[in-house]
Amino acid sequence: MGSPTIDLLKMELPVEEGRLHLNGDGVKTTGLVLIDVVNGFCTVGAGNLAPKVADKQISEMVEESVRIARLFCEKKWPVFAFLDTHHPDIPEHPYPPHCILGTDEANLVPALQWLENDPNATLRRKDCIDGFLGSIDKHDGSNVFVDWVRNNDIKLLLVVGICTDICVLDFVSSALSARNRGFLSPLEDVVVYSRACATYDLPLHIANTLKDTIAHPQELMHHIGLYMAQGRGAKVVSEVAFGAFPQP
């Protein structure tokens, strides 16, 4: 899909992107949610759903996610990281096997592995697209993400990760629905940081050579994911700053 077509669609489906300023003074209690920044989706050649070659959008997402995560942990603000992780005998249709439990695919990218030992971070392995559903305990019905929001008195969620139009969108939609139903008190706002989100690229000419596969143009689907999240009630920002924004 050529860029003029994408530009036209962006005009017809606009995303209003603002800026988020976090200074720690009187700001709502903010929690960071990282979605699936794992090798199986982000590291070149790491698995069936990993990029085959270096991908600019994914690389920038990882870099910005790491920056934000470090700043949150330095300030001792709560961080929640989802890690896509699947049992080898339980497929996730329509996708090929990926992020299998016990493999490096299911682990955080190298630049984020320090989170595993950071007391500020809560890690949750999920075996489904939607992290909100993946946080439900199958035995007692409790939800570790809901507990995290309540225990940290979180009023604003900042969401980053991959894929913008799949796991990020599904999680954001569920979190907003739960908030609207009163299940996520005291949560007020869900903010998606566009530069720290990414999705995969599968052009039409390649998809046509694969069985039961549909095209997934990266730039367009990233935009649609943001547009749909905005339509669900999320705020979308293109810049996150700690302290004052730089003057133009």
Burial of 112 (0-12, 13-18, 19+ CB in 10 A): buried
Looking at residue 2, what is its pLDDT? 55
pLDDT digits (tens, 9 = 90+) for 23-57: 765 467 999 999 999 999 999 999 999 999 999 99
User: Of the candidates 7, 11, 18, which has an alpha carbon nearest to the alpha carbon of residue 192?
Assistant: 18
Question: Which residue is associated with the tokens 């300030």?
Answer: 75
The pLDDT tens digits for 42-51 are 999 999 999 9
**pLDDT bracket for residue 203 (50, 70, 90):** confident
Q: Kindly report the number of other CB atoms within 10 A of residue 134's CB atom.
A: 23
162-182: b or e for each residue (b if 16 or more CB lie within 10 Å)? bbbbbbbbbbbbbbbebbeee
Between the CA atoms of 69, 227, 153 and 120, what dihedral angle is there, to the nearest 10 degrees? -10
* Cα distance between residue 98 and residue 158, in whole Å: 26
- Mean pLDDT on 64-90: 96
- Alpha carbon distance 107, 100 (integer Å): 10
pLDDT digits (tens, 9 = 90+) for 129-175: 999 999 999 999 999 999 999 999 999 999 999 999 999 999 999 99
Contacts of 119 (CB under 8 A, 6+ apart): none
In angstroms, the CA 172 to CA 192 distance is 8
Helix (H, G, I), strand (E, B) or coil at 159: strand
| pLDDT, average across residues 75-97 | 93
- Residues 6+ away with beta carbon under 8 Å from 82: 33, 34, 35, 36, 124, 125, 126, 131, 134, 161, 167, 171
